[in-house]
Structure 1
Amino acid sequence: MKLTTFIQNGTQRIGLVEDAQVIDLQAVDASVPGSIRAVLEAGIDLAALAAKARSAQVERLPLASLELATLIPEPGKIVCLGLNYFDHAKEGGREKPDYPWFFFRGKSSMMAHGKPGIVPKVSDRFDYEAELAVVIGRKVPRHVSQAQALQYVFGYTCFNDMSVRDYQKRTPQWTIGKNFDATGALGPVLVSADELPEGATSLRIQSRLNGTVMQDANTSDMIWSVAETIALLSDCMTLEPGDVIAMGTPAGVGQARTPPVWMKAGDVIEIEIERIGLLVNPIEAEVA
């Protein structure tokens, strides 16, 4: 099952994606909330709803024609991992960390597929990061085991952890450089876990800047797997439906290149993960 979030007549709605066509789930069942997070919190049986939608006599909308909204509107938590690929840690001059480098993003930093990533007025060191994102489907009990962790995952999507590098390096905790407005792109679709390998392993992940491949790796290269990451987080906090975990980026980021490559107005950045989707965002300069 693939889901997306889109805007129709000024209203946010959830769509079931089938062969580049979208079925409006609110047109199938008017009681369904217009937020994936709200649907997961309510415990709605999305598999049953999807089956009903496929047989419903409702209009199919071309995905390419829709204005997409942020895939997970206002997630309760957006937990990100740094240095979670061996090659990326190495290109940054670091060995494998003993524990994941966790940081948080705020909801105001998040944006949709197709929306512009904004180069801030205060910096020109605007970088890209291709990442796998995990969406939690059910409340995760504290101290969950790795063996049980994946049963709480609803699905996976693409994430671009666009980073303002000079601000990121102003503090040992990367948060400020990771939370500029319109820098965290998510989507365009959420793929349910049952359609992918366990833990979303063995999937090719790429970033392309203006058509040039910048990062090209495999999710099997992650230091901490999805299951291990959820288990570690559950030692500290309660993960809830609609929470997002961004699993870190492989080597090839702009700051590690000689000379560095920074995104600028007029660029187009693409993040593609095998069997999940293609996330595309133009880059614009801050105006206000």
Structure 2
Amino acid sequence: MELLRLGPIGHEIPAVRHEGVCFELRPLFDDIDPNFFAADGIGRVRSALEAGELKPLDGAEEMRIGAPLTRPSAIVCVGMNYAAHAREAGAEPPERPVIFFKMPSTIAGPTDPIELPPYATKADWEVELGVVIGSRAFRVASVEEGLNHVAGYVLGNDLSERRLQIEESGGQWSKGKNLPGFTPLGPWIRPTAEVDPGNLRLRSWVNGEARQDSSTSDRIFSVGEIIFQLSQAMAFEPGDVILTGTPQGVALSGQYPYLADGDVVELELEGLGRHRQVVTVTE
């Protein structure tokens, strides 16, 4: 089962693809948003599919694929969660999760253009496994309990502007992470029961040339560990997104150039689809 939002920006239709057929969800929910997850949206969609209550969405295959969720209260990101990526960034692997935040306005669809202002001269790509929270998580008691709060998983691109992140950061990273459209998500959310987050291949390319190729098994902190540790200091709400870190192979390493006008960025995460984004520098 794949949860999607299809249609023009700002007018996406919530949908589910099941056994190759795309069904509209508007008889059940207005959108795939925090209210959807708080109301056990995935369980209700599954029941409606089993009962044959949903109608196919006409023209779904021709529609733009938007981000598969909207209006999370928070996007929490884990930095340097792959040891090799920490080393290429010139840091030691962290003993506890390193975090930063992204604004909901950074969310974009998996094929929307990456629009850069002319001063974004060090834009970088990061393929990541995203976690979608299904129920409020605060001070969870264990790593295992942390996983119980996950609704599903999604492919994300944690785009970064390294000059703003590092050279003009003021000691924090979020400044270089929050340009509009800097968190492409999608093409779909797959429910947690259908995904093993501990062993997924994730890859990226720029202009057809391989950049990243790793597995989520190489992460330092697992999904359950991230939720367990961070929930001691913050409350996650339904519909929130956690990006769990990127492996080695980004421009920050010095091995590759930063993104430029016309570049094509592609990402893939096993079982969670593919992105294709064209870089456009705007005045």
Q: Same fold (TM over 0.5)?
A: yes
Residue of structure 1 equivalent to 2:210: 213
Structure 2: unaligned runs, 5 residues or longer? none
Question: In the alignment, which of 73, 89, 110 is matched to residue 107 of structure 2?
Answer: 110
2:222 matches 1:225: yes
Tell me if structure 2 keeps the 8 A contact 1:22–1:62: no
Residue of structure 2 equivalent to 1:193: 192
- CA shift, 1:62, in A, is 5.7
Q: What amino acid is aligned across from residue 18 of structure 2 in structure 1?
A: E
Partner SS state of residue 148, structure 2: helix
CA displacement, residues 71-106 of structure 1 (integer Å, 9 cap, x when unaligned): 221110100011000110111121111221100000
Partner SS state of residue 276, structure 2: strand
Q: What amino acid is aligned across from residue 13 of structure 1 in structure 2?
A: I
Partner SS state of residue 220, structure 1: helix
- CA shift, 1:33, in A, is 2.3
Q: What amino acid is aligned across from residue 259 of structure 2 in structure 1?
A: M
**1: distance between equivalents of 2:185 and 2:54?**
30
Tell me if structure 1 keeps the 8 A contact 2:33–2:71: no
2:123 matches 1:126: yes
**2: distance between equivalents of 1:270 and 1:194?**
26
- CA shift, 1:66, in A, is 1.4
Q: What amino acid is aligned across from residue 181 of structure 1 in structure 2?
A: P
C-alpha RMSD over aligned residues = 1.9
Tell me if structure 2 keeps the 8 A contact 1:126–1:163: yes
Change (3 A) 1:71 1:164: same
Question: In the alignment, which of 257, 263, 280 is matched to residue 276 of structure 2?
Answer: 280
1:232-247 correspondence runs (5 A): 232-247=229-244
- CA shift, 1:114, in A, is 1.3
Change (3 A) 1:120 1:19: farther
Change (3 A) 1:141 1:123: closer
Q: What amino acid is aligned across from residue 279 of structure 2 in structure 1?
A: I
Tell me if structure 2 keeps the 8 A contact 1:205–1:272: yes
1:96-107 correspondence runs (5 A): 96-107=93-104
- How many residues matched? 280
Normalising by structure 2, report the TM-score: 0.92
Residue of structure 1 equivalent to 2:262: 266
Residue of structure 1 equivalent to 2:181: 182
* Deviating more after overlay: 56-65 vs 84-93: 56-65
Residue of structure 1 equivalent to 2:76: 79
Q: What amino acid is aligned across from residue 3 of structure 1 in structure 2?
A: L
**1: distance between equivalents of 2:279 and 2:20?**
25
User: Matched residues, percent identical?
Assistant: 31
**2: distance between equivalents of 1:134 and 1:42?**
18
Tell me if structure 1 keeps the 8 A contact 2:21–2:56: no
Q: What amino acid is aligned across from residue 205 of structure 1 in structure 2?
A: L
Structure 1: unaligned runs, 5 residues or longer? none
1:25-104 correspondence runs (5 A): 25-26=25-26, 30-44=27-41, 46-53=42-49, 55-56=52-53, 58-61=55-58, 63-104=60-101
Q: What amino acid is aligned across from residue 192 of structure 1 in structure 2?
A: P
Tell me if structure 2 keeps the 8 A contact 1:210–1:268: yes
Residue of structure 1 equivalent to 2:157: 160
Partner SS state of residue 269, structure 1: strand
Q: What amino acid is aligned across from residue 270 of structure 1 in structure 2?
A: E
Tell me if structure 2 keeps the 8 A contact 1:82–1:100: yes
- CA shift, 1:61, in A, is 4.4
Higher strand share: 1
- CA shift, 1:139, in A, is 1.0
**2: distance between equivalents of 1:21 and 1:216?**
31
Tell me if structure 1 keeps the 8 A contact 2:204–2:267: yes
**1: distance between equivalents of 2:251 and 2:175?**
18
- CA shift, 1:57, in A, is 6.6
Question: In the alignment, which of 115, 137, 142 is matched to residue 139 of structure 2?
Answer: 142
Tell me if structure 1 keeps the 8 A contact 2:100–2:174: yes
**1: distance between equivalents of 2:241 and 2:59?**
27
Q: What amino acid is aligned across from residue 244 of structure 1 in structure 2?
A: V
Tell me if structure 2 keeps the 8 A contact 1:23–1:58: yes
**2: distance between equivalents of 1:99 and 1:184?**
24
